Structure 1
Amino acid sequence: MEKILRQEKLREWVDTLDDCEVYAPAFADSVWNFARVEAGTDIDLSHTNTIGSVKAFTFPQREVFFRFEKKDGVPVLTPTLPDPKPTVVFGVRPCDGRGMPRNDTVFGLSRHPASRDTSPSLDVEKEFEDPYYWARRNKLTLVGLACNQPHSPNCFCQSVGGSPHSEEGLDILMTDLGDRFHVKGVTAKGVEAMERGRDAFDAVCDADQTEVEKVHERSHSYPQRPIGDLDAISDALRESFDSPLWADMAQHCIGCGICTFLCPTCHCFDINDEVISPTTGEGERVRTWDNCQFPDFTMHTSGHNPRGDLGSRLRQRVNHKFLYFVENHKTQQCTGCGRCITECPVGIDIVAVLERVGQS
């Protein structure tokens, strides 16, 4: 399904989703980030890219697996499997959209679903399934917004096989045509969301189709950070495991972990039991984001740490994106959003790291 949506009709469409939780980029504290939209009048798609990715909608920073307590001396477990309202997120950039199928793979799909309809379904064959992730994922509709031009000098989506107007992982792709949007339903969930607001849309004419094609073509003309042959990069990383380059490139790293927390595809987590009341034995089993850039991430109970230095931890982050994930899932994990470069307080640049490794 392809339609035209006048800018002034966007709010009307959003208001038809009144039984959903709707989110869109909002500007606060000097950054764009996703925020709850209470009404169509609150929505603003003039953003660049959000500082945080959409992964938190399916993989929150903290979530409770179950609660426990003792009753009459007997342990009692109370499940806390989420049952969210349907959620629609507007303004998702294609780099974030491409991150979602990669996370789907990690949390339950048996193969990377890039070549098929990426609308999630529990009917898809899985090797395993994370029920907490999929309870949210199956209620999530992602409305993408194509990038007519790069929003940061650190964007490199095309260098990792993406596109400023990629549909991968999205349910709907919107393209800004100035006074109107071209809106394409990519999945069944996306078409359903468009059908609900059918009165807000107009038909696509030949002139509209020609213009959207020109906008998409022009978006490829802007320079992006080049990486080179991705297969050659994987080979170079494999051969550089013991290279002194890693220690050299990590000299300035402070181990803050901002690179992985903001990344749309980093997914490492820790699980802990948090006691609320020692008297009653009441508490919660909690999953929280973890970070391969932290020394405790690989700390053994013996005190041995196989990645005890910053260089080995930088190597792990880069290798996971461009080597290990490729070996396991046949695609790069990085989607080229550039957040890790933009937000690094000491200027570590993953594209420059790959360039140095390739030259070594």
Structure 2
Amino acid sequence: MGYVLKREGLDGALAALSKDYLLYAPVRKVGEGRFTDVDVVRYDFVTSASELELDAKSDYSFKELLTPLSKTLFYFTEDEVHEAGDLGAPGAPAQAADDRPVIVFLRACDLHAVRRLDQMYLGNGPTDTFYARIRDRVRFALIGCTQSFASCFCVDMGANVAPEGWLFSLETSGDGYLCAVADDSVKAAFAGAATAEKDVEPAHVTENEVRVRTPQSVPTSIYKDPLWDEYTNRCIRCGRCNIVCPTCTCFTMQDVFYTDNGRVGERRRVQASCMIDGYTNVAGGGQYRKAAGERMRFKVLHKVWDFRQRFGYDMCVGCGRCDDVCPEYISFAACVNKLTDACEREEAQDE
């Protein structure tokens, strides 16, 4: 079942949904990019159609709702520990006490990324209860992809077609919108606001300008391959690629003390990453993977090889945000292709 909506109709549908849900979607922040005349598209809570940015890829992923950059887990005193709240964390203090579930608007690649996050936090040993509590309150709306963006390579990563698990889809069409409803719980919101009913299949891209070949096997000699030296010279280890990546899951813990006696404060979970200094520090002052090339090797192999060996599918979903945000113009897609070429050369020499 699908619907055709005008702007006013979508406003009415979102208003109806907002009675039961918080809505979290890409929003264009005018002039808030890296320069004063550059916009940025990032996620925020919305209530109307005018706030939605459906035609541009978000610069940052949805994951800050599920895994905030910094999240207080609990507060402690000398005698007591109190757990912090779960939702409303990503820059919206007014939402902190709101117990409505959240509908997150995301594209097919990001919906595939949710599977990766769930795998790491819920299916990789003991359940992460802090993640699970937030995840239980989150639902998804699919943004149809009517075009491929410049850096995307989702087709080659098998993430261009959305998996199941979304309530409804939404995409622009002319001066209106098309919506496909997959869950009856939200059907009334759109049926009452639509101008017409229509069979709608969510749009998805079938080809990307960027092509990627992932390795089918990785010889151990690749860990010392000179290809990584390029990134030792180019990468500045800022970690921006990890922060915007919808599938990066690493974090560290920080205790923040309120008083000089060190007995009152809070424990925070803070996003960390393999590319940022301090991530591999160990007791005694040791540090693994000091060179940027070594860190790049760890990240790339984890995204397109190690994760697949454990779970049967690649961690990377081909959204291309890492390429978009890198200040040194390092292309993750190009690095994966170089890795695959090097692996094939090594295998040919061993035959």
**Matched residue SS, 1:320:** helix
Gaps (5+ residues) in structure 2?
Answer: 33-38, 88-98, 343-351
| 2:155 matches 1:158 | yes
Residue among 39, 44, 47 paired with 1:35: 44
| 8 Å Cα contact 1:34/1:50 also seen in 2 | yes
* 1:117 corresponds to: none
**Matched residue SS, 2:273:** coil
| 8 Å Cα contact 1:81/1:131 also seen in 2 | no
**Matched residue SS, 2:179:** strand
Residue among 227, 233, 246 paired with 1:264: 246
| 2:269 matches 1:287 | yes
| 8 Å Cα contact 2:275/2:295 also seen in 1 | yes
Cα distance in 1 for residues equivalent to 2:16 and 2:190? 6
Cα distance in 1 for residues equivalent to 2:208 and 2:80? 59
* 2:27 corresponds to: 26
Summarize deviations over 1:244-287 as a string: whole Å, max 9, x none: 21122331100000000000000100012111123472101110
Cα distance in 1 for residues equivalent to 2:220 and 2:268? 35
| 2:66 matches 1:51 | no
Amino acid of the structure 1 residue aligned with 2:155? Q
Tell me the TM-score normalized by structure 2.
0.84
Displacement of 1:46 after TM fit?
4.2
* 2:338 corresponds to: 356
Amino acid of the structure 2 residue aligned with 1:174? L
Displacement of 1:81 after TM fit?
4.8
| 8 Å Cα contact 1:100/1:169 also seen in 2 | no
Cα distance in 2 for residues equivalent to 1:43 and 1:285? 34
Summarize deviations over 1:139-184 as a string: whole Å, max 9, x none: 1122121111113x11100010121x42455433224332443323
**Matched residue SS, 1:241:** helix
Amino acid of the structure 2 residue aligned with 1:14? L
| 2:79 matches 1:64 | no
Cα distance in 1 for residues equivalent to 2:18 and 2:306? 42
* 1:140 corresponds to: 138
Cα distance in 2 for residues equivalent to 1:52 and 1:11? 25
Amino acid of the structure 2 residue aligned with 1:288? V
- Tell me whether 12-21 or 325-334 shows the greater mean CA deviation: 12-21
* 1:9 corresponds to: 9
**Matched residue SS, 2:26:** strand
Displacement of 1:43 after TM fit?
2.8
Displacement of 1:196 after TM fit?
3.8
Summarize deviations over 1:107-155 as a string: whole Å, max 9, x none: 1136xxxxxxxxxxxxxxxx5221221222121122121111113x111
Cα distance in 2 for residues equivalent to 1:78 and 1:101? 30
- Distance change in 2, residues 1:238/1:336 (3 Å): farther
Cα distance in 1 for residues equivalent to 2:272 and 2:122? 19
* 1:302 corresponds to: 284
Q: Which runs of 4+ in 1 moved over 6 A?
A: none
Gaps (5+ residues) in structure 1?
Answer: 111-126
* 2:348 corresponds to: none
| 8 Å Cα contact 1:146/1:166 also seen in 2 | no
RMSD: 2.3
Map 1:201-212 → 2, pairs under 5 A: 201=194, 204-205=197-198, 208-209=199-200, 212=201
* 1:340 corresponds to: 322
| 8 Å Cα contact 1:174/1:182 also seen in 2 | yes
**Matched residue SS, 2:304:** helix
Identity among equivalent pairs (%): 25
* 1:97 corresponds to: 111
Cα distance in 2 for residues equivalent to 1:309 and 1:77? 40
| 2:209 matches 1:227 | no
* 2:178 corresponds to: 182
Displacement of 1:353 after TM fit?
0.8
- Distance change in 2, residues 1:174/1:46 (3 Å): closer
**Matched residue SS, 2:5:** strand
| 8 Å Cα contact 1:67/1:80 also seen in 2 | yes
| 8 Å Cα contact 2:257/2:264 also seen in 1 | yes
| 8 Å Cα contact 1:94/1:168 also seen in 2 | no
Map 1:241-252 → 2, pairs under 5 A: 241-252=223-234
* 1:317 corresponds to: 299
- Distance change in 2, residues 1:204/1:197 (3 Å): closer
Cα distance in 2 for residues equivalent to 1:104 and 1:319? 20
**Matched residue SS, 1:142:** strand
Cα distance in 2 for residues equivalent to 1:341 and 1:22? 28
